[in-house]
Amino acid sequence: MVKKVGVAILGLGVVGGGTYQTLIDHHDFYLKTQQVDLTVEMVLDKSTERLDALGISAEARAKSIEEVIANPNVDIVVETIGGVGAARAFVTAALREGKTVVTSNKELICKHSHELEEIARRTGCGLYYEASCVGGVPIIRTLLDGVQANHIQKMMGIVNGTTNYILTKMANEGADYAETLKEAQRLGYAEFDPTNDVEGFDSTYKLSILSSMAFHTKVPHTHIFREGITKVDGKDIAFGKELGYTLKLLAIGKNTEKGIEVRVHPTFIKSSHPLASVNDSFNAVYMTGDAVDDVMLYGRGAGALPTASAVVSDIIYAATHSDIKYSTFKNKATAEKNTKFITDFESAYYLRLSVADEVGVLAKMTSIFAKCNVSVVEIAQKGRASETSRVPLIIITHATRENSIKKAIAKINETNYAKVEAFIRVEE
C-alpha cells in the first residue's frame, strides 16, 4: 500500500536545492521501489530568485515557520539552513508541533541534539541527521544499523572536503597553503571565511556526533583536541612523502580501557594506508570493531546531490519506518560523570628541526629525548647547512605521550644549538 508523505524544506541553498530537485526527479522511482508518495508541500526561503529558479509554485511558498508547521499535510520538515540561530528555532518549533525533522546541520546536532531529542521523544516524532556528517557517505546509518553488533574501538576519518582538497593539492603540486586556499575558494570548495574548515571546527563537530554514536556515550565537542591546517608547511608534506607518509587532517576517536581519546589535527599516516589514497574533496571513515575488524566507507563528502542523497535517504527512512530510534546513550549537554577522556594521548611524532652543524649536537638532543621518555625511530638530514651553519633534520619517534613530546620540544628550543620548526602527529 502506497503511503503519502508531505515534506517541507527550510532553506534552498546548495543542499536544500539539491534535496528539492532529487525529490522531484526521483518521485516515481521512490513510489515504485519504496511504496511512498513523497510530495514537497511547502518551501521556506527568503530568496525569491532561488524559489523562481526551481519553479516553486506560489501556493508552496511559505512566509514563516508558523505557516509550515501549521500545515496538516506536512509530515516531515527538512532543515538545510545551517548555523544555530534560525535553524535551531525552526527545528524546535517543528518538533514541538510533532513534525519529524531531517537536518544536514552538523553544528546544530553537535551542540543541541540533547535538547532537540528531548522534545522529539516527548512529542513522539523522529530526528534524523545522516547528512550532517560526511556528505553522501552513509556513516550514521552504518553505525545505527550496520555495525551495532560491535564494540567500536577506533575510528579515523577524513571528514572535511575543503581541507582534504588543500592538502592533496599541496602534496601533488608542491603548492603552498595560501595559494591553494585561494584556489579552493575560487572553485567553491572553501568559504570566503574558511575558518570553520581550515581550523578544524567542522571536523570537530562531526567527530563529536560520530564518536558519541560509535562509543555509546556523549562526547561533547569541548572535549575534543583541535588543531587546524593553517600552519602546515609544504616542505613537511614533501619530507613526509619521502619517508613513506601522507598528510591528512584526521578526526580520530579511540575507545580504550583507560578512557576515550578524541582529537582533530594534521596527521601523517603510512602511504599504504587506505585513507592515504582519499584525495581532493572525497571523504572517508575507517573504523575498527571487535567483531567485524576494519571497515572503511568512502565517497563524496559534500556537494548538492551527494548531501541531498543523505537527506532524502533520511526522509524515506522516516516515511517507511514507524519505529523511531533515538540515541543509545544519555544524550545530555555534558558527558556522563563516569566517562573518562584522555588528554595526554599517545602518538608517534614527526619533527623538523634546524640544528647547529657541530660535533656532539645529536648526542645532546638524544639525551633530552631520553630524559623525556621519547624514543627515536629514524633520523634523516635533509639538505646541507645553511648560511647560519644550521642543518635541517627530520626525526620520527616511537609512540609516546603528548606531554612528553611537548616537554622535549620545549627543552630543545631552550638550547642554542637546535630549534623545532614543525611537529606533526603520526598514526601507524
Q: Which of 303, 290, 270 is nearest to 215 (CA)?
A: 290
Let me know if 111 is a catalytic residue: no
Is the sign of the CA dihedral 73, 76, 78, 83 positive or negative?
positive
**Which of the residues 99, 169, 206, 218 is marked catalytic?**
206
Can you read off the three cell numbers belonging to residue 21?
530537485
State the Cα–Cα distance between residues 237 and 304, nearest whole angstrom.
Answer: 31
- Residue pair 65/30 in contact by the 8 Å Cβ criterion: no
Neighbours of 115 (CB within 10 A): 16
Active site residues: 206
